A and B are shown apart, each in its own frame.
Chain A
Amino acid sequence: MDPTLLLAVNALAGGLFLLCAFGIVTMRQVRGCLNLFIAQSLLLAASAFLLGAAFDSWHLVGVGIVNLIAKPFVIPWILRRMLHEEIYARREIDQAVNIPTSLLAALALVILGYFLTLPILEALDPASRLGNVAIGFAGLFLGAFTLAVRREAVPLLIGVLAMENGAFFAGIAMSRNLPFIVELAIASDGLILVFVVGVLTRMLHRRVGSTDVGALAALKEGEP
Chain B
Amino acid sequence: MNLFVMLAFPLLAALLCWRARTPGIASGATLASCIAVLVLAIDTAFAALRGGTVVGVEIAVAADALSALMLLLIAVVATGAAFFSRGYMQRMREGPARLWFYYLNFNLFVFSMLAVPLLVEPTLVWIFVELTTLCSAMLVGYENTREALEAAWKYVALSLMGAAIGLLGFLVLFAAMQAAGGGTYTWEGLVQAAPRMPPALIETAFLLVLVGFGTKVGLVPLHTWLPDAHSQAPSPVCAVLSGVETTVILYVILRMLPVLDAVPGVDLQLWTVSFGLLSVGVAAFLLIQVRDYKRMFAYSTVEHMGIILVAAGLGSAAANYSTVYQALTHTLTKSFCFYAAGAALLATGSRDILAQRGLIRRSPATGASLLIGGLAIAGAPPFAVFLSEFSIFRAGLAEGRYIAIGLLVLFIAIGFFAVMRHVNRMVFGAAAGAAEPFRLPASCAAVLVVAAALVIVSGLYLPPPLHELLQRAAARMAG
| Residues on A facing B (Cβ under 8 Å) | 116, 119-120, 122-125, 128, 136-137, 140, 143-144, 147, 153, 156, 159-160, 163-164, 166-167, 170-171, 174-175, 177-179, 182, 185-186, 189, 192-193, 196-197, 199-200, 203-204, 207-208, 213, 216-219, 221-224
Contact present for B292 and A223 (CB under 8 Å): yes
- Cβ-defined contact, B179 with A123, below 8 A: yes
Given contacts A160-B160, A185-B127, A197-B156, whether A174 and B167 have CB atoms under 8 Å apart is no
Contact indicator B168/A140 (Cβ below 8 Å): yes
Q: Do B175 and A175 have beta carbons less than 8 Å apart?
A: yes
What 1/0 flags go to B136-176 for Cβ under 8 Å of A?
Answer: 01100100111101111110111011001101100110111
Q: Is B134 an interface residue (CB 8 A)?
A: yes
Residues of the B chain whose Cβ atoms lie less than 8 Å from the Cβ of A186? 123, 126-127, 167
CB neighbours (8 Å) of A123 from chain B are 176, 179, 198-201
B200 to A182, Cβ gap below 8 A? no
B131 with A207: CB separation less than 8 A: no
- Give every chain B residue within 8 A of A164 (Cβ-Cβ): 164, 167
Q: Is the CB of B156 within 8 A of A216?
A: no
Question: Which residues of A sit under 8 angstroms from B228, Cβ to Cβ?
Answer: 219
A185 CB contact (under 8 Å) in B124, B157, B168, B175:
B124
- A–B Cβ pairs within 8 angstroms, 28 of them: A120-B201, A123-B199, A125-B179, A140-B164, A140-B165, A144-B164, A147-B157, A160-B160, A163-B165, A166-B168, A167-B165, A174-B175, A175-B174, A185-B127, A189-B127, A193-B134, A196-B134, A200-B152, A203-B141, A207-B146, A213-B157, A216-B149, A216-B150, A217-B150, A219-B227, A221-B291, A221-B295, A223-B292
Contacting pair A192 B134 (CB below 8 A)? yes
Q: Which of B298-340 contact A (CB under 8 A)?
A: none
Among residues of A, the one whose C-beta sits closest to the C-beta of B135 is A196
With contacts A147-B157, A160-B161 known, is A128 near B121, CB below 8 A?
no
Q: Roughly how many angstroms separate A205 CA and B333 CA in the complex, as a whole number? A: 38
* Residues of chain B contacted by A189 (CB below 8 angstroms): 127, 130-131
**With A219-B150, A224-B291 as given contacts, are A119 and B204 in contact (CB-CB < 8 Å)?**
yes
Across the interface, do B153 and A174 meet the contact criterion of CB distance under 8 Å?
no
* Known contacts A164-B167, A224-B350: A182-B121 contact under CB 8 Å: yes
Across-interface contacts of A174 in B (CB, < 8 A): 171-172, 174-175
Measured in the bound complex, the distance between the Cα atoms of B226 and A224 in whole Å is: 16
Rounded to whole Å, the gap between the CB of A41 and the closest CB of chain B is 14
Known pairs A156-B157, A207-B144 / 16 extra A-B pairs, C-beta < 8 Å? A120-B175, A122-B200, A123-B179, A164-B164, A170-B168, A185-B123, A196-B138, A197-B156, A200-B137, A200-B149, A207-B146, A216-B146, A216-B153, A218-B146, A219-B227, A224-B292
B2 within 8 A of A: no
- In the complex, A96 Cα to B105 Cα: how many Å? 34
Residues of the B chain whose Cβ atoms lie less than 8 Å from the Cβ of A140: 164-165, 168
Please state if A153 and B153 are interface contacts (CB–CB under 8 Å).
Answer: yes
Question: A116 vs B372: C-alpha distance in the bound complex, in angstroms?
Answer: 48
Taking the nearest CB of chain A, how far is it from the CB of B58, in angstroms?
A: 14
* B347: min CB distance to chain A, Å: 15
Q: Which residue of B lies closest to A195 (CB)?
A: B134
B384-401 interface code vs A (CB 8 A; 1 in, 0 out): 000000000000000000
Chain B positions near chain A (C-beta within 8 angstroms) = 121, 123-124, 126-127, 130-131, 134, 137-138, 141, 144-147, 149-154, 156-158, 160-161, 164-165, 167-168, 171-172, 174-176, 178-179, 185, 198-201, 204, 227-228, 232, 289-292, 295, 350-355
Q: Which residue of A lies closest to B207 (CB)?
A: A116
Closest Cβ–Cβ distance, residue B241 to chain A (whole Å): 16
A121 to chain B, nearest CB (A): 9
The count of A-to-B residue pairs whose CB atoms sit within 8 angstroms is 152
Q: Which residues of B sit under 8 angstroms from A156, Cβ to Cβ?
A: 157
Closest residue of chain A to B232, judged by CB? A219
Nearest-neighbour CB distance to chain A for B411, whole angstroms, equals 19
Cβ–Cβ contact B153 & A200, under 8 A = yes
Determine if B165 and A116 form an interchain contact, defined as CB atoms under 8 angstroms apart: no
* Contact between chains at A207 and B149 (CB < 8 Å): yes
Q: Which residues of A contact B149 (CB under 8 A)?
A: 200, 203-204, 207-208, 216
Instruction: Give the residues in chain B near A182, CB-CB below 8 Å.
Output: 121, 123-124, 127
Q: Is the CB of A175 within 8 A of B153?
A: no
A136 — which chain B residues lie within 8 A by C-beta?
Answer: 168
Closest CB in chain A relative to B176 CB, distance in Å: 8
Closest Cβ of chain A to B75, distance in Å, is 24
User: Which residues in A have their C-beta under 8 angstroms from that of B146?
Assistant: 207-208, 216, 218
- The docked-state distance in angstroms from the alpha carbon of A144 to that of B57 is 36
CB distance from A59 to the nearest CB of B (A): 13
In the complex, what residues of B have CB within 8 A of residue A177's CB? 178
In the bound assembly, the distance between CA atoms of A124 and B202 in angstroms comes to 12
Contact, CB under 8 Å: A119 / B164:
no
A6 → chain B closest CB, angstroms: 21
Interchain nearest-CB distance for A202 vs B (Å): 11
Cβ contacts under 8 Å, B355 to chain A: 224
Q: How far apart sit A193 and B150, CA to CA, in the bound complex (Å)? A: 18
User: Looking at the complex, which one of A116, A170, A192, A213 makes contact with B153 (CB distance below 8 Å)?
Assistant: A213
Q: Is the CB of A124 within 8 A of B171?
A: no
**Docked-complex contact A200 and B141, CB < 8 angstroms:** yes
